[in-house]
A and B are shown apart, each in its own frame.
Chain A
């Protein structure tokens, strides 16, 4: 089932590295453990990995404060060096998907699609698309509401809201 109404969230980044290397950094565990975490000071460990079409991986990220989280990644398409498609889930250490209790309506299935384009021999443009797969209408509403760039003025409104909340 496809839902043409979903507009993915998008991050576009350019890296000063050749395309093959940027792609490898996403699919080779020797690379992944060095960077696959959201902030400096985390550690990352792969408990299992089979990164190929229909493969999966399970990795643990330990935050600087000691908080541990496990992430299950199900790979759908691993097409070197241009495209990577995966679903990623919060899981437990056994690789069983766990629901996010604090955000019951956050979409269960989040799909990431990555396109790697060579800008030149030493630079690569990465387009990262992030969208819910087959969301319920409630999940879709939550996803839509979560976009910083959603609709006119909402982005600016969110910035303002963020500052407001931070100041509380």
Chain B
């Protein structure tokens, strides 16, 4: 079966663990491909392949420094992800805080009633 070219968006781009690892490295400091190859201990084509996807969706941009290209993360591109990353914990964790407070509340009232 012929493979069609995969199209990526920010979400699918970070679905791949190796690309997340690259983002984590580049968030700390900008690096060239060679520096990434050393830091990650991956082969250069692997680094370049994943970098290309991240560049495609705008998470990573490059600038020229002499003869090399330096890559950096554009964190604002990750904001949509950030917004729902904590959806589960924020929403349900928050709801369970409410439940906790509510259960305390009604049981305290119950105790008071018992004593009356």
Chain A residues near B (Cβ < 8 Å): 9, 11, 13, 15-17, 21-22, 25, 31, 34-40, 102-103, 105-106, 112, 126, 128, 130, 138, 141-142, 144-146, 148, 151, 153-154, 157-158, 160-162, 164-165, 168
What are 20 A-B contacts defined by CB distance under 8 Å? A11-B92, A22-B99, A25-B99, A31-B102, A35-B102, A36-B98, A39-B98, A102-B83, A106-B84, A128-B92, A141-B12, A142-B15, A145-B15, A146-B81, A153-B21, A153-B24, A154-B24, A157-B27, A164-B75, A165-B76
A102 touches B80 (CB 8 A): yes
Cβ < 8 Å to A, chain B residues 55-107: 75-76, 78-96, 98-104, 106-107
A37 touches B89 (CB 8 A): no
| B11: Cβ under 8 A from any A Cβ | yes
| B53: Cβ under 8 A from any A Cβ | no
Task: Tell me, in angstroms, the Cα distance from A146 to B12 when the chains sit together.
Answer: 11
Partner of A35, one of B17, B81, B82, B101: B101
Name the A residues within 8 Å of B86 (CB-CB).
Answer: 148, 162
Name the B residues within 8 Å of A165 (CB-CB).
Answer: 75-76, 78-79, 82
Partner of A157, one of B23, B76, B91, B107: B23
Chain B residues near A (Cβ < 8 Å): 9, 11-12, 14-15, 17, 20-21, 23-24, 27-28, 75-76, 78-96, 98-104, 106-107
A130 touches B88 (CB 8 A): yes
Look across to chain A and name the residue whose beta carbon is closest to the beta carbon of B19. A145
> What's the minimum C-beta distance from A135 to chain B, rounded to whole angstroms?
12
- Apart from A17-B104, A37-B98, A161-B27: 12 A-B pairs, beta carbons within 8 A: A11-B89, A38-B94, A142-B15, A146-B84, A146-B85, A148-B89, A153-B21, A154-B20, A157-B24, A160-B28, A161-B75, A165-B76
- The total number of A-B Cβ pairs within 8 Å is 118
A16 touches B104 (CB 8 A): yes
A162 touches B95 (CB 8 A): no
Look across to chain B and name the residue whose beta carbon is closest to the beta carbon of A156. B24
B107 touches A17 (CB 8 A): yes
Name the B residues within 8 Å of A102 (CB-CB).
Answer: 80, 83
Look across to chain B and name the residue whose beta carbon is closest to the beta carbon of A25. B99
B84 touches A103 (CB 8 A): yes
Task: Tell me, in angstroms, the Cα distance from A147 to B79 when the chains sit together.
Answer: 15
B20 touches A39 (CB 8 A): no
Name the B residues within 8 Å of A126 (CB-CB).
Answer: 96
Look across to chain B and name the residue whose beta carbon is closest to the beta carbon of A151. B17
